[in-house]
Homo-oligomer: A and B are copies of this chain.
Amino acid sequence: MKASRIVLASRPMGIPSFENFRFEEIELPALNEDEVLIQPVYISVDPYMRGRMNDVKSYTPPYQLNEPIVGSIVGKVIESKSDNLKPGDLVNANLPWATKIIHKSHGLFKIDPNSAPPSYYLGLLGMPGLTAYFGLLDIGRPKEGETVLISGAAGAVGIVAGQIAKLKGCHVVGLAGTDDKVKLLKEQLGFDTAINYKASKNLRKDIKAACPNDVDVYFDNVGGEISDAVFANLNFKARVVVCGQISLYNETRMQLGPRFLPIILTRSAMVKGYIVRDYTDRYHDGILQLTNWYREGKLTYKETFVKGFDRLPEAFLGLFAGQNQGKMLVQVE
């Protein structure tokens, strides 16, 4: 039985390109006891994967050269030698980018297709949603009436963080890179206002105008000059949730910027980085709460689908060009 897979052909210097990926044909063996054959339905592309393409020490080990890219996948069981799963079942797991995958039944999370659209397990009810949930509530700790500012607000994580902040009674402001995204945030996702940072002539002043009481919680997915403009508007006792730094992932050298420690000191601010895995023991509670909010109509979600397994590299590269509204996904079949 043949399958296609995508391996890391070379490590990118700076912005990744198609050349960093290679398609391969492989021959799959027959299933052993307790194994299942999975066909991906949705494959997730996420900004954090850029970091795994580098050969550096980090929480998550780097991808290996000539080995498959691995990421979150929702797939359908098409053959099973396991008592736990049967053909037609939908599962979610971190799996290699391939058109067919053999895996033990252990470690596959079975999805209930009635509770939410299956693709949501890569977004609202998966890593991005949980990242927003724990980062905003555990680190940001927004209080009613406070101002919450979100960069990368129209992305997979940002749209969830902003909606949760609204549920907590905050004044919520989003930063995004196109007028369409600004419109999405204001008209469909309940943000109080949003700013197209690419169109802004003075982002620091525009943020001040949108946040007249200054920023109490800054949920940062972007970093760089956008964060410089936000730090100038931090309130006393502000909390900065460092969730992502997509503007800097492709930089090849240390970037210079304004020194933040004096601001952190004079505002008694708190700045904290995290990865969602720090909250593994609370995933269950997080998914439950997100699912309930979704079912009650209090949270909506937005996805950008790219169709076809062959377009996985294109979808991934599109993240860094801001081509997604909400979650970027590849729909395989």
Residues of A that sit less than 8 Å from B by CB? 51, 58-59, 220, 223-224, 227, 236, 242-245, 248, 254-262, 264-275, 278
Contacts and interface: CB of A to CB of B under 8 A. Distances in A.
Contacts of A227: 261
B267 A273 contact: yes
B261 A242 contact: yes
Contacts of A269: 272-273
A138 B225 CA distance: 32
B248 A264 contact: no
Contacts of A223: 259, 261-262
Given A59-B236, A265-B273, A268-B278, 13 more contacts: A223-B259, A242-B261, A243-B265, A248-B262, A256-B259, A257-B259, A260-B260, A261-B273, A264-B272, A268-B273, A269-B273, A270-B272, A270-B273
Interface SS of A by simple majority: mixed
B59 A268 contact: yes
Given A254-B259, A257-B256, A244 B265 contact: yes
A255 B262 CA distance: 10
Contacts of A271: 261, 264, 270-272
B258 A255 contact: yes
A26 B257 CA distance: 49
B268 A245 contact: no
A254 to B, nearest CB: 5
A216 to B, nearest CB: 15
30 contacts: A51-B266, A58-B266, A59-B268, A223-B259, A223-B262, A227-B261, A242-B265, A245-B261, A245-B265, A254-B258, A255-B258, A255-B259, A256-B257, A256-B258, A257-B257, A260-B261, A261-B273, A264-B271, A264-B272, A266-B273, A267-B273, A268-B272, A268-B274, A269-B273, A270-B270, A270-B271, A270-B272, A270-B273, A271-B271, A271-B272
Contacts of A259: 223-224, 248, 254-257
Given A59-B236, A236-B59, A256-B256, A268 B275 contact: yes
Nearest to A236: B59
A224 B265 CA distance: 13
A223 B260 CA distance: 10
A274 B274 CA distance: 21
Nearest to A139: B270
A245 to B, nearest CB: 5
A126 B272 CA distance: 30
A268 B244 CA distance: 11
A257 B256 CA distance: 5
A256 B223 CA distance: 15
A264 B227 CA distance: 13
A304 to B, nearest CB: 24
Contacts of A261: 220, 223, 227, 242, 245, 248, 260, 271, 273
